[in-house]
């Protein structure tokens, strides 16, 4: 209902936005003031700042999309844009100061041209790409830089730095792929309930959508995933330039899926959660699932 939507939005706006705004400002300041000798190049420094800001913005947008996914009222997109704008407005001044410092450090038309293109690019993409899209873009860009520099001597330190940056974005893609699989394999909600469950809530089987019938339906869906795991890959991974990186993401995300199933299995088979005939609900042991996915 409209009245509930407006009330929820108002509460979220007042209680969450300002907290998120402070967090965004705190981490932006930390990111742009952390000393790093690689930032002798102002255009690279500004590019890294904008990439970080874009990733943070994408995360905030995804949070709001999850919050408002069942809202059918008009104007939801405008609401999300407004909230994200208020959350990130605190970073405008420090970002502006760093841009000006970069220009003053190396004045000239070449730098202005580079910075202009960077700002135009992020102006068009900062609210359109998701977390996985941004991480894929960064991995590909860093991979091209790494393979190019590897052809030259005396680049070991730069190659090491690029490897660290690639690993950071790989962590994002590994988690995103695992989340993609858990959602489509029917385990996302169940795994979330298991993680958040506490003994004070009573048996897990008493929670909404955690009854035996719901678990059986979820496990049927999970079995379909086990029969063809290679087909359940998020689209962004198909754009990766390196087959080795794609394999690494797939393998490590599969490990996370196995770990999640293991926690679900332990919870369902625990007598404290009062499931009748739990072996029929989760017929495969974690070791069997691991073997099927390896």
Q: Which domains does the chain have, with CATH numbers?
A: 2-129 (no CATH), 176-293 (1.20.1280)
Residue with tokens 């330190």: 157
Per-residue tokens: 207: 């929670």
- What does the chain come to in residues? 294
Q: What is the dihedral of CA 45, 54, 183, 242, to 10 degrees?
A: -40
- CB 249, CB 173: distance < 8 Å: yes
Q: Comparing C-alpha atoms, which of 62, 180, 189, 41 is closest to residue 127?
A: 62
Per-residue tokens: 153: 């001597």
pLDDT value at residue 24? 47
Q: Which residues of the chain have pLDDT under 50?
A: 14-21, 23-25, 27-28, 35-39
pLDDT value at residue 6? 54
d(CA 291, CA 110): 56
């Amino acid at each position: 209902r409209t009245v509930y939507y407006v009330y929820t939005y108002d509460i979220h706006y007042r209680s969450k936005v300002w907290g998120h705004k402070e967090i965004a400002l705190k981490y932006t300041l930390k990111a742009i003031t952390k000393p790093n000798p690689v930032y002798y190049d102002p255009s690279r420094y500004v590019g890294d700042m904008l990439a970080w800001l874009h990733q943070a913005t994408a995360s905030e947008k995804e949070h709001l999309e999850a919050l408002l996914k069942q809202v059918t009222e008009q104007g939801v997109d405008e609401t999300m844009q407004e909230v994200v704008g208020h959350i990130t407005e605190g970073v405008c001044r420090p970002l502006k100061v760093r841009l000006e410092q970069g220009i003053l450090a190396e004045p000239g038309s070449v730098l202005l041209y580079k910075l202009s293109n960077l700002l135009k690019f992020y102006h068009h993409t900062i609210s359109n790409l998701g977390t996985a899209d941004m991480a894929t873009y960064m991995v590909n860009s860093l991979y091209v830089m790494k393979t190019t520099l590897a052809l030259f001597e005396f680049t070991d330190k730069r190659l090491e730095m690029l490897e660290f940056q690639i690993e950071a974005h790989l962590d994002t893609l590994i988690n995103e792929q695992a989340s993609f699989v858990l959602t489509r394999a029917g385990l996302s909600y169940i795994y979330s309930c298991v993680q958040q469950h506490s003994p004070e809530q009573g048996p897990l089987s008493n929670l909404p959508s955690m009854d035996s019938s719901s678990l059986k339906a979820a496990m049927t869906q999970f079995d379909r995933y086990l029969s063809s795991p290679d087909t359940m890959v998020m689209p962004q991974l198909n754009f990766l330039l390196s087959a080795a990186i794609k394999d690494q993401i797939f393998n490590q995300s599969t490990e996370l899926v196995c770990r999640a199933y293991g926690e679900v299995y332990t919870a369902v088979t625990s007598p404290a959660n009062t499931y009748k005939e739990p072996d029929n609900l989760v017929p495969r042991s974690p070791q069997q699932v691991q073997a099927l996915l390896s």
